[in-house]
Amino acid sequence: MEKQSLKTTLRSVSDHPKRNPGQALNLDWVLSAQANTSAIERRAATLSTRRSIKKTHQAAWLLRAVSCIDLTSLSGDDTEGRVYRLCDKAKNPIRLDILEKLKMPQIKVGAVCVYHDMIASALERLGETGIPIAAVSTGFPAGLSPLNLRIAEIKESVAAGANEIDIVISRRHVLTQNWAALYDEVRQFRNACGDAHLKTILATGELGSLRNVARASLICMMAGADFIKTSTGKETVNSTLPVSLVMVRTIREYYEQTGFCVGYKPAGGISKAKDALTYLSLIKEELGHTWLRSDLFRFGASSLLGDIERQLEHFVTGAYSASHRHPIA
């Protein structure tokens, strides 16, 4: 019975939503977006206490989380060897002996995320696995290089083989309420991506208010973003539950108004399995099962995988192992 329950919980939805084409800028809609900060914070505070996910169900949810991870290496000292190890872990994120005890087949992560210079190394190592390669772009993480260079950077990464492009928006457009400029910028980034999917990083910790987060989220979706993402992972404040609640509710509103699904990616500071469960609960409650898959939900993380693998080993053995026995790459 437990084996069947585990496989049923992990079954993927077969239908894939149409890609968000974007729409004309609708400032009336954008400016109508508000955020009741105290209510949002109260709701967010209950997320980790509303559900108690135990035993087989917890193992299934953690495996689902693994399949939605963008396994990431974005350090100035990245080398070809480090990216090779990252890709090897992406292909086999959970030890085979743990999966055998769970009676589950091998799984893989949602994507591998690297700088432009490491796309070729990732392509070589991932081969025909089908794991997407995401490249950060547009002057990541600050996004302050000239616009023509940021657009050229996207095109270079797509030509090099990136399937997804994680761009950073110009925070100044949000802070000065220049919504038309933000829309035009993201629209140009979307056009430069071509068939590659566009993930827009809002850097929410630098936007000043939850209302700004809501409005920037709407602008990016109107401009054709395939995903909206919280953070670069380099800011002082990265993904938080109140910010996530605001962003997923704008995704729900956009879907209700347009019929197009946009993905969500929390990133930065999510390193524990229990945090992953909280975020998955948020997605399930606010958006439903359709979003609980890698084409509409991702974790921007690396250390998270190590803790999930450790928790899964505890599930099958009853004992906790040392963290260093579960390297992420």
Question: Tokens 């009336």 correspond to what residue?
Answer: 28
- R_g of the chain, CA atoms, integer Å: 19
The dihedral over CA atoms of 155, 161, 163, 164, expressed in degrees to the nearest 10, equals: -50
CA separation for the pair 311, 217 (Å, rounded) = 34
Q: Say whether 234 is catalytic.
A: no
Q: Say whether 184 is catalytic.
A: no
Structure tokens at 110: 């949602």
List 166, 226, 295, 307, catalytic entry: 166
Q: Say whether 166 is catalytic.
A: yes
Strands 111-114 and 69-72: parallel
CA separation for the pair 312, 305 (Å, rounded) = 11
- Cβ-based neighbours of 193, under 8 Å, separated by 6 or more: 154, 158, 165
List 226, 229, 295, 307, catalytic entry: 229
What string of H, E and C letters represents the secondary structure of 155-205? HHHHHHCCCEEEEECCHHHHHCCCHHHHHHHHHHHHHHHCCCEEEEECCHH
- Cβ-based neighbours of 153, under 8 Å, separated by 6 or more: 116, 137, 138, 139, 145
Residues annotated catalytic, as ranges: 166, 229, 265
